[in-house]
Structure 1
């Protein structure tokens, strides 16, 4: 095959067949055209047909029927020589066989190495342009400069055009390979994202169990212990109604606090706020209710084109919002809070800012500041390849920024 064609296999096979039989087809065309000429005797015609038959047999045996496995440089050079010699004999007999000689150009560009290809093109050009003038020697004698200029320009143009076409085809193949590799990488990346989210879901179940266990131990269990203690104290208060009423009131207050803690734990366990709502609407509702309950003005805004994210992404951002607002209520003593949900091409980011008293980030790692929950936020985000950035200083407020990859919801494009 003398050209690398970037078509599909069907057109490639058709092209291979065509280029193998091209010399025979052009020989047949030239022969028919020659026999149709007037003024020839039948003897001359039969002689032409004999030469054509010999040329056809030689080309079929040395070129058309040669297997691809035999087409090494020496065999190709021999096949080209036979083709050029046969075409020269016929073209000397009648210039109409110039059509057959043209196949020399097509065969020459298959020759290797490159310098042999160039010699083949020059030889074909010299014969095509010289035989019509009485032969190559006659052309060199009668009009040498013009003749050589035509040969050089013709051979150079064909060689240059072929090399440029070959380079373009090679570049196209490289682009196709690069695109195929990119598509494969994107598919692999999507699979890794899904695997990551599946692992995160499994890890999230364990995290929620551990969190709920801590909630029960740290709040509910202690609260029930306090209630029981107060009720026992009320029973033992004897005839003092005021003392009994005080213990009963304390038990009632502890029960209400425990109920609030239980509701908060269940709410954090299952993000019901997302049911039937988009993430921006869910976060806006959480911020509004938090502001009414705590009495601190809070503003929520969304930037970028909002779109459905993977449920794990949205649930994580919702819980980060709840945790951040809880921290503000417990620790910040803020007068104003601002939250921004930003949708970008590859990331979705939640920024929470307050004008509270701030804190020392180094001390936040100690047990005295464990209630800030920064480690828990980072853990949640890390499971989904996210990051958490905190900017704060004592008296300067706090800014928390949570970023996650913008993985679209299953079945949706980005």
Structure 2
């Protein structure tokens, strides 16, 4: 099989793998969204029900029941208002704050329920309209653990609610007692079954949560492995071309630069004999030597010489400082996140982007300040080069340099975004996957866990 045929097969394998991962992630997100919506509605109902029932019953009592009874606010309604204030404080401290802070514990929850039921009974002695508030006991029963306590709370709430509504305590006739017993039994059984099923399904729900977390971690790991395989495939496909270029550079460019240096050295010696100082010859000699060093570096690894002595952050700082001295423009380098050695192909690509962006600033921007930011985010590495120069209109940034920059970053699975406007400077942003040194992907799941 030829090299071109092998290169043609790699993208199709990557596409199928990416489609499988994307489909699995979409299904996973759909299940999580459905489950989160259910939990959100139930949590909201648990949180707001006592307040809603207390507000409705209090409003009806003071706006309708009390005026129609002909009683005056003092002294008949003053105790009711006091009990309502106590109920507000009790619900706030024993129910709302623990739920919002997720600090509700079994013993405090049981104490709150006893106090809540006592307040409901006290309020119902003044008016039956507070039967509405007593219904909150059924909702709080779902929060009690273990589940028999929840069923017992439902029974107590049902006895208090129906006992007051049917006047069992004032006229306990046999018919009333029979009806009361039947209603309490049915009500307790109906709501208690829900509490029992909820308690029985909780361990299964926890196992499902653990399975979902493991699946999510596996999906993140697969995504990292996929990015690693794509980068390795591209690097492997380019290896033969690198070897060919290395041979041509060695046989042509390197030999030619060596000859240039020899000739310039002879010219420098001649100028010294005549007592003349040729600044241009000296500068050309320095540039030629630098080019020869770069050519030899290309033969060895096709990587910038700055990266041969340091990792990407230090190489970028060296590049920017040297550029700032040559161009007379203030430049600042900032590195954020946890620094990790990256794959050489990733570091070279980002370095070349910064190099090209700074070159464009020197040629076109007429800027007074330049900022270079390198950000390690765990699963990705971001490079941003921005200036305060004259910028350019939309659609104007289509030169060879920007096109080459985009192709280079796209070749390692990343993307480049250029933002600019006349008079507002330019920002060049590159985003690439964090493929670590040695071919292992920087795992996002590791940072999450």
Q: TM-score range by the shorter chain?
A: 0.3 to 0.5
**TM score, norm. by length of structure 1:** 0.47
**TM score, norm. by length of structure 2:** 0.43
Higher normalized contact order (CA 8 Å, seq sep 6+, divided by chain length): 2
